[in-house]
Structure 1
Amino acid sequence: MAHRKLKLLKRDGFVILDPYEGRISPEEWESLNYLDWKSGGDTNFAVLASADGTDDPRGFWEYGKPDKDGVWTENIQKAPTLKRWVESSGVRYGRVRIIKLNPSSNLEEVQTRFLHQDDNNRLNPDGEGWVVRAWMNLTDDPDSYMVLREDKDDPSTERHIPLLRNAQFLVDTERLWHAVYHPGPEPRYAMITSFESGPELEKWVRARMPK
């Protein structure tokens, strides 16, 4: 039995949403505990929800479970707005993290070395919803963008998502190769949430799509 997937992602594998309209204090991401964890560049991660509520950035499969039913960590006490954003979706979520990406001015390195696919659906039972990822960009990074490719070795499949403050988008990161080109000058911060595909997520996405 196949996993349930979103029709909205069938064509491109991603969808750009309207920007988040609220205001989030920088303290909600700057005051967190960050771990030195590399993914697609010079990165650190603050764990907001993990498999068991500990400050562990590893995949949920290390605990014998799919990337669903995340448990809030101590960090979340400093990020109430971000917690409300996740929970107000009404969607089953797994990993929730803040990524801190330090500047990298080499676009070719991003396109060749850092492009990667995620392992979102290991141990995901057949018949349940496919796990995809939602981003909210927290800092204003007008010269930065997410690089997406259907085929890692085919530049003609490349698409870009701008990374302005409060940008929101959803990506099937197990399907698309992705990385962020961030020339800086300051670190870029964004929240990444694993969501389960299904009617609730489709409703949430459609309500935030540009009219």
Structure 2
Amino acid sequence: MDAKTTRPLDAASDPRPLYARAADQVAALVAAVPAGGLDAPTPCEGFDVRALLAHLVSGVRAGAALGETGRDTDLAPVTGVPDDGWAKAYDEARARLVAAWADDAKLDVPVVVPWGTMPGRAFLASGGVLETVAHTWDLSRALGDPLPLDQDLAEYALEWAHRALPAERRGEGVPFEPVRQAPEGADAYTRLAAWLGREV
């Protein structure tokens, strides 16, 4: 990892700069979705591109609500977005999230999420950076890998995935398939996808 990446993965790190990089990257992919490409399949089982974009926007809105209230309260499905409106919807959601987490003090305040209670910084690293980076690969693959991806972000997300989602934590109640074997020499995104149970 280069000097831009927050190291080490500890309680003192601030994941917000990494989240900003991850959100910028996936936003570029959202903007690159071609007209008529919303029905294309993605590596997320049961998700076409449209459903994946709705999931991304919903997750960012929920993360913003978490920063605003300390609880994951904004879980309403994303509806009413026109086919050409996904880039705007994502940009508005991430701007809300960034504003909600702008106060440094919130990084140490416990927040309640469906999988437990944790400091705000841990949520931003896992539910923010890791979630965004994982779906970056999904969307990139669905679009034919139109843009180069930031490998440092994937290395960081993979370390968090190893910590938060060990291989033995799969099965009932965990929305990830068993770990798969990544090909020899695979890049960080492919290794992350394999760790999360994607077919690579």
What's the TM-score once normalised by structure 1's chain length? Answer: 0.29
What's the TM-score once normalised by structure 2's chain length? Answer: 0.30
Higher relative contact order (CA 8 A, sep 6+): 1
- Relative to its length, the structure with more strand (as a share) is 1
- Relative to its length, the structure with more helix (as a share) is 2
